Structure 1
Amino acid sequence: MTQNIGLDFNLFKNRISGTVDAYMNRTKDLLIKSIIPASSGYSNQWQNIGETSNRGIELELDGAIIKRDDFILSASFNIGINKSRIEKLGEVKSWVESSGVLTSGLAQTLCLEDYIVEEGGQVGQMYGWLIDGNGMYSFDDFYYNAETGVYTLKEGVPNDKSLIAPYWFGPGTLKLKDLNGDGIVDAKDKVVLGNANPKHTGGFNLTAQFKGFDCSAYFNWVYGNDIFNMNKGLFTCKYSGFDYKNILNIMNSDNRFTTISKETGEIVKDPVGLAAMNENANMWSPQYGDPRVTDFLIEDGSFLRLNTLTLGYTLPKSLTGKIGIQRLRVYVSGYNLWTWTNYSGYDPEVSTARGTPLTPGIDFQAYPRSREFNVGLNVEF
């Protein structure tokens, strides 16, 4: 079912024109898995019981800013705001979903249950753990046994050892929040970390003509969406068999907490020695197997991109007419010229979900958009 209302308008003797559209649609009988009685011999069955809704508004504007004999300046603008919602899921009100980016070996844990689908929510909700403080257990969190070289957590300090399963559990280990207060960090402490859906998207175009010269620039933007940076997860941990290859600079030997002496290459465990070695460490030790789904991997994907820029010149007809050409224009165009964003990956305009449309907004081994330049001629005889 779709409902919409629109308005077209012209103002100031057609100097400004535009369109406004508001819409609301509801989609029923979506095919989803439903849990069925075990007596049937199966755990679930595909049924037409899902329901979603979308509502939003779109605005388009066109304007002739300056219009003279030898100079023309015009602009266009568009923006779209959309809000989606999962209305019904049947008997099961929510479930966790795997992006399936990696299915075995590397970062297997990262790929399991990294999204959540729930009634009242949206498709694209990223699901995982929150990092506690600066992300590192401190020396004050442990008792140290000098005879055995073992660190033991003090009473009342949340324990995520079973989740992290590191080669090293002590000061500098990744520390996650115990949200339910039971003292153990596990699946019960997972929350929605981000949302792949933007708050609004849009673009604007500027076009200018002066005598024989012309110029046009098109910008587009996305605002308010999150990106699940799985590359960042892989390259900030010591995953099995790969040690520290291709590790990001933020996790280099000067930044990360380490238990290995640079001078001797030996493992250091005593608090005094460790504290001296890691005096300037601002990142946790990457000595754990697979990446964990944490808010460290969720980044703001908002961006503004200069998508297209074209510069052209049309030769005077008094010159081209002598050789039988009515119009001759030479131009140069550039594409994907510049992007303003806080995203740390190669390209914020990315989504590499595999196997399911329920896990958008993932950046994993995606090839970034290329920058292109074209030179051409427009000839009319």
Structure 2
Amino acid sequence: MSNLDVSRTTGDTRVYRNVGTILNKGIEVTITSHNFRPKKDGDFSWLTDLNLAHNSNKLLELYNGIQKNMGETVWKEGYDIHTYNLVRWAGVDPRDGAPLWYDAKGNITRVYSTENRVPYKNSTPVLAGGLTNTLTYKDFSLRFMFNYSIGGYGFTSFGRASNSDGLNIMTENQSIDQLNRWQKPGDLALNPKPIWGVSTQSVMNSTRYLYNKTLVRLQNLVFSYRIPRAILHSTGLKDCSISLIGDNLWVWTPYSGKDHNSYKTCMSGYPMERYFSIALNIGL
């Protein structure tokens, strides 16, 4: 289904229509491991659950065979429906610090043009899932869950503002990557020569702002204590436990570091929020 433009004489601007055929396939596996089994109540136990999921898709047919451009992505026969359609970034000219791109035929050019957009990498991960460990001993338990994603790329429009090569240096916070800039002939720099307030089109949409989305995230951690029933007996309660909970405690992405940016710092433009809470569960 796709939301397509229609004549405004119909009283609407867009309608949903079936416009093609997609082949979608995948596999999901869940593995449960009893690493330590308790021999009696209160003994140490350790349970692990691992989930792995792989999915792929291909657009087999489009209405009239015409590709559909949607901002940074494209629908094109034979490609993943989450394929990017961008001008390819070729880096920085070491002679004068000018930005470089590839044209549609793969030749390096100093002129940016949307006519040179080509289907490129996609945002679909190769593998995704989670890993949960639950450890218990007597009345204590610890449960922590990791989420992971391997492969796939993300486009960051925030990166265009924070890597502006001088254009927005007075109005926007700049990436630490901007310190790796061209300064003199022969420099093999990550970023072009910075020019305040002047656009060299280096901030236009291109593969420069695609980041590998591979990540490992400590999504949730719960430390609990169940009050012994002998203590609860006089209160009339059947069960009671108190838990300390943390969410979004840690995330790792490739190339993370204090001296350069990665998908971790460019995924939204803001630090990932951590949440801490206390829970009291009572059974009557």
* Matched AA of 1:176: W
SS at match of 2:74: strand
Higher CA-based Rg: 1
**Contact 1:34 1:90 (8 Å CA) reproduced:** no
> In the alignment, is the contact (CA less than 8 A) between 1:180 and 1:188 conserved in 2?
no
Note closer, same or farther for the CA distance 1:125–1:208 as it changes in structure 2 (3 Å cut). Answer: same
- The TM-score normalised by the length of structure 2 is 0.78
1:85 to 58, 71, 76: 58
How many aligned positions are there?
Answer: 263
SS at match of 1:231: helix
User: In structure 2, what is the Cα distance between the partners aligned to 1:240 and 1:330?
Assistant: 53
**Matching residue within 257, 278, 284 for 2:192:** 284
Mapped pair 1:73 → 2:66: no
What is the aligned partner in structure 2 of residue 63 from structure 1? 33
Q: Which residue in the other structure is 2:139 paired with?
A: 212
Q: For residue 202 of structure 1, what is the aligned residue in structure 2?
A: 129
SS at match of 1:237: coil
Partner SS for 2:63:
coil
1:49, distance to aligned residue in structure 2 (A): 3.5
Q: Displacement, 1:210?
A: 0.7
**Given the superposition, is the C-alpha separation of residues 281 and 94 from structure 1 closer, same or farther in structure 2, using an over 3 Å criterion?**
closer
The reply on whether 1:371 has 2:274 as its aligned counterpart is yes
Gaps of 5+ in 1: 1-29, 36-43, 99-113, 140-170, 259-273, 349-362
Moved over 4 A (4+): 31-35, 44-47, 181-185, 238-244, 278-282, 345-348
Give the Cα separation in 2 of the matches to 1:46 and 1:331.
Answer: 47
Q: Once structures 1 and 2 are overlaid, which stretch shifts more, 182-191 or 216-225?
A: 182-191
Q: Match for residue 77 of structure 2? A: 119
Shift of 1:81: 0.9
| Partners of 1:295 and 1:72 in 2: CA distance | 48
> Residue 256 of structure 1 corresponds to which residue in structure 2?
181
Query: In the aligned structure 2, how far is the partner of 1:325 from the partner of 1:95?
Result: 62
RMSD over aligned CA atoms reads 3.2
**Match for residue 237 of structure 2?**
325
Contact 2:94 2:182 (C-alpha < 8 Å) held by counterparts: no
Aligned with residue 307 of structure 1, among 206, 211, 219: 219
Whichever residue aligns with residue 72 of structure 1, its letter is S
1:205 is displaced (CA, Å) by 1.1
Distance, in Å, in 2 between the alignment partners of 1:232 and 1:307 is 25
Deviation, 1:281, is 5.7
* Residue 175 of structure 1: how far off its partner (Å): 1.5
- Aligned partners of 2:181 and 2:194 also within 8 Å: yes
Cα shift at 1:67 = 1.8
1:31 & 1:380 partners in 2: Cα distance? 49
- Matched to 2:53, the amino acid is G
- 2:261 pairs with 1:334: no
What's the offset of the Cα at 1:34?
9.2
Indicate conservation of the 8 Å contact 2:217/2:248, yes or no.
yes
Q: Work out which of the residue numbers 51, 63, 76 in structure 1 matches 2:21.
A: 51
Q: In 2, Cα distance between the equivalents of 1:279 and 1:222?
A: 35
Q: Tell me, in whole angstroms, the C-alpha distance in 2 between the residues paired with 1:82 and 1:283.
A: 35
Bigger CA drift: 116-125 or 314-323?
Answer: 314-323
Shift of 1:279: 6.2
The SS at the match of 1:91 is helix
Q: Distance in 2 between matches of 1:321 and 1:46?
A: 61
Q: Distance in 1 between the 2:182 and 2:211 partners? A: 23
Q: Is there any run of 5+ residues in structure 2 with no aligned partner, and where?
A: 7-13, 257-261
Distance 1:319 1:364 in 2: 48
Post-superposition offset of 1:347: 6.3
Cα deviation, residue 88, structure 1: 1.1
Q: Which residue of 1 aligns with 2:99?
A: 174
Is contact 1:236–1:286 with CA below 8 Å preserved after alignment? no
Instruction: Give the secondary structure class of the aligned counterpart of 1:331.
Output: strand
Residue by residue, what CA displacement relative to the aligned partner does 1:171-208 show, whole Å, maximum 9, x if unpaired? 11112234527775544533333211111211121111
In the alignment, the residues of structure 2 paired with residue 238 and residue 321 of structure 1 have an alpha-carbon distance, to the nearest angstrom, of: 69
In structure 2, how many angstroms separate the alpha carbons of the residues matched to 1:75 and 1:234? Answer: 42
Shift of 1:249: 2.2
Contact 1:193 1:298 in 2 (8 A): no
- Contact 2:94–2:188 (Cα < 8 Å) also in 1: no
Aligned residue in 2 for 1:380: 283
- TM superposition shift of 1:243: 5.0
Query: 1:23-64: CA deviations, max 9, x gaps?
Result: xxxxxxx456599xxxxxxxx998643221211111122233
Instruction: Tell me the distance in 1 between the aligned counterparts of 2:3 and 2:228.
Output: 64
What is the identity, as a one-letter code, of the residue corresponding to 2:279?
A: G
